[in-house]
Amino acid sequence: MIKLLAAPVRSIVRFPLFQLAVVVAVILFLQAGDDKSARGQMFNGLDELVESTVGLFSAVFNVKSFTKSWLTTGFWIAYVYLACLLILALLRVVISKVVDFVGWSNLFGLRNAIARERGIAAYRAWMPFERIRPVSIPQEKWEETFAWPANNECLAR
Cα–Cα nearest to 50, from 19, 83, 21:
83
pLDDT tens sequence across 76-98: 999 999 999 999 999 999 998 88
Phi, psi torsion values for 68, nearest 5 degrees:
-65, -40
In the chain, domain spans: 2-105, 110-157
**150 pLDDT more than 70:** no
Share of the chain above pLDDT 90, in %: 50
Specify the higher pLDDT residue, 129 or 103. Answer: 103
Q: What is the mean pLDDT of the chain?
A: 85
pLDDT at 157: 44
**C-alpha distances out from residue 157 to 145, 147, 151, Å:** 18, 18, 14
pLDDT level of residue 56 (50, 70, 90 thresholds): very high
**51 pLDDT more than 80:** yes
pLDDT at 144: 75
pLDDT tens sequence across 15-49: 999 999 999 999 999 999 899 999 999 999 999 99
pLDDT tens sequence across 104-125: 887 887 788 778 877 777 777 7
pLDDT at 26: 96
Alpha helices in the chain (DSSP H): 2-13, 16-31, 38-60, 65-105, 111-130, 139-146
Q: Are the CB atoms for 66 and 58 separated by under 8 Å?
A: no
Q: Are the CB atoms for 33 and 39 separated by under 8 Å?
A: yes
Specify the higher pLDDT residue, 59 or 137. Answer: 59
